[in-house]
Amino acid sequence: MSSQTRKSNEKDQASRDICIIRHGYYPDDARVFKEARALCEAGYSVDLICLRRSGDKRKETVDGVHVYRLSHKHERGSLLQYLYEYGLSFCKSFLLITVSCFRRGYKCVQVNTLPDVLVFSTIIPRLFGRKVLLDMHEPAPELFVTKYGPGRYRRLYKFVVLIERLSIKYANEVLTVNEALRERLITRGAYGQKIHVIRNVPDERFRPKMPRQSFGKRLTLLTHGTIAERYGQEVIIRALSFLRGKNYDLQLLIVGDGENTEQVRSLAEQLGCSDIVTFIGRVPLCQIGEFINRANVGVVPLLRSPFSELCQPNKLFEYVAYRKPVIVSRLRAVEESFDDSCVMFFEPGNHEDLARCIVELYDNPEKQHELADNAYRRYESMSWSATKHVYLKLVKDLVGK
């Protein structure tokens, strides 16, 4: 091998094709995790900038992804806390990506929101011709209204809408999670041709490790993820209380944590359900499947809000991937992918309607299997093994590899 060829190879190895920026944790973020792994498997060299939780290494390689963690973590709190935290992430990401871009020769920078403003931390690489891919996980304006109400902070809300519009215009290409959200972005002035749908489906490794089990008469319900008022965990507790004393052998597993954990725990105690509700706490992404496998039914009890009408949670598809029947709030974005032959719908926030669904599945194990099988057949066309080719083609077009 000539010295010129060796130098060329060394230069290629020293460069990076793509850098991903995320105001979150890795590898706990399911969407970022599967995207980064897909890039590595396709032959790209991937760096990733994210937050640092206590006990995390500042710098490490995870499944081929070079992870660089900022020296702060996410803290739930007031609006001012969020603004401070987002501003800190923006400044640190701006400095790190600006320096790293010229040292490592990125061809593309992908920014996964929230916050939308984080995409502008790539301004220097963008000016020097690097491509920017924006992955919009959640609609920031709808989340803002859901958390703080439609009448509060009106000027700040208008600023959030403006930032969303500018961030989409600024990026070379944009990803989002479903057609309902894509349409909403277009109605706010986004150019539809640059927005592509990549659903919140789990990657190929998220599959049951054992055949579907028979659990006897007990019905074990599961809900997992962030515990917050908008996600409706309290509705499940009220449904269980409504069914108490009616000879149903029920159990609920709640996996995760969040700002509303103590309120949900307190409600379970007040309504006399502590003995049938188990709070597992937060677990690593790789262990979620173990709890899904232990359950009979997954529950996705989103409350109706501007945010939830555009939301297709990861856990919905995770239950389906494990061939578990799902009880879910009847919301526009969910009905985009599944109908009544695939899932049990209930009226958002209505614990008596949720209780009806629980009883129907409790009394009819055959319906559990029917729903699970129908949903899985629908899911196969949306699975990550099918969807990731859209993502990789988009990256290939941007990177030119």
CA dihedral 348, 351, 352, 353 (to 10 degrees): 30
pLDDT of residue 4: 47
For 219-380, give the CATH class: alpha beta
For 12-204+383-399, give the CATH class: alpha beta
Specify the domain boundaries for CATH 3.40.50.2000 within the chain.
12-204+383-399, 219-380
Mode of pairing for the β-strands spanning 173-176 and 108-112: unpaired
- Global pTM value: 0.86
The tens place of each residue's pLDDT in the chain, 401 residues long, gives 444 444 444 444 445 699 999 999 998 888 999 999 999 999 999 999 999 988 889 999 999 999 999 987 777 767 888 888 999 999 999 999 999 988 888 999 999 999 999 999 999 999 999 999 999 989 999 999 998 888 788 889 999 999 999 999 999 999 999 999 999 999 999 998 999 999 989 887 777 665 555 556 789 999 999 999 999 999 999 999 999 888 899 999 999 999 899 999 999 999 999 999 999 999 988 889 899 999 999 999 999 999 999 988 899 999 999 999 999 999 999 999 999 999 999 999 999 999 999 999 999 999 999 999 999 999 998 889 888 999 999 999 998 76
Whether omega for the bond prior to residue 114 falls within 30 degrees of 0, making it cis, is yes
Give the tokens for residue 250: 């029920």
Instruction: Return the DSSP state at 56.
Output: -
| Alpha-carbon span 384 to 369, nearest angstrom | 23
